[in-house]
Amino acid sequence: MAGPAAPALAPARTGETAARAARIRRNWLLATPALVLLLLAASGPLLVVVVYSVLEPGEYSGVVWELSGEGWFRVLFHRDIFDDTLSLADAHLTIFWRSASISLLTTAITLVLGFPTAYFIATRPPTQRMLWLFLVTIPFWTNLLIRTFAIMEVIRNEGILNSWAMKLGLIQAPIQILYTDTAVLIGMVYVYLPLMVLPLYAAMERLDFRLVEAAYDLYASRWRVLTRVIVPLVRPGIVAGSILVFIPSLGAYVTPRVLGGGKNMMISNLIELQFGEGRNWPLGAALSMTLLAFVMVALLVYVRNMSKVERRG
């Protein structure tokens, strides 16, 4: 009976293959508008920036359609206009370092503040968690510029912080916080803190707290429970939150522009300056691609870390 059954199965398999091929073609057809939009709206502008980065700058703005590596060269080096001597572009390197350091500090501070916040929310009764999450997400209801001006009102010389500190006798004169790196850091921590809390809460909500109780039953200290049980189990949330904070912090424009006063620039402000007052579009495009490279490195670190976590189960 095996002999006659084999030919009967062949048409069925052929029909399944044809149906699968038709389904694949239909799926690609349905996805075509989204793919075209993605190509035009994302890849298209990015390709324009890549092309601009290898062209000559125009006399007043724009580009001259002649190939040149001057834009990329000036990202790290500076050529004297009188004797053509070369030196490091100290201003650019300082801005790169400020951007990276403030972004790392923002990530670290939001992690320190967001971890206990997420733990507190995750340990509330299920009926109360939605209320606490609602309170965490309220800042997202307000425009970023408005939130930044709100922070400015708090930390300026005549703001809430200095006024209360002087009334309490803690200081005799206002402390200059506004238009410093500290002001930028405070503003970015305030803006991006919810982006750290939400992934941490998502990881802690799935945490089996019976493991924490078991660790206490085995006479583990609170520190060992935190470092040996809780942190390893919620590491994916820590990594995701860190990436969600670090990447937008690295490319932040509004907060450094408002709270830094234009003096303490970050990479995004330098890019805007080259496309605006600097009128050097190739340099601005090269700086944009440099920023993209930083972001790609951060994403690769995230993907590699998550791959290790998945392999460990």
Tens of pLDDT, residues 147-192: 999 999 999 988 899 999 898 888 888 899 999 999 999 999 999 9
Beta bridge partners of 86: 79
d(CA 110, CA 212): 24
For residue 1, the model assigns a pLDDT of: 45
User: Directed axis angle between helix 90-122 and helix 281-311, to 10°?
Assistant: 40
pLDDT in tens, 255-294: 999 998 877 789 999 999 999 888 899 999 999 999 998 8
pTM: 0.83
d(CA 126, CA 260): 41
CB 54 within 8 A of CB 72: yes
For 135-159, letters b (16+ CB in 10 Å) and e give: ebeebeeeebeebbeebbebbbeeb
For residue 81, the model assigns a pLDDT of: 75
Residues in the chain where the model's pLDDT stays below 50: 1-2
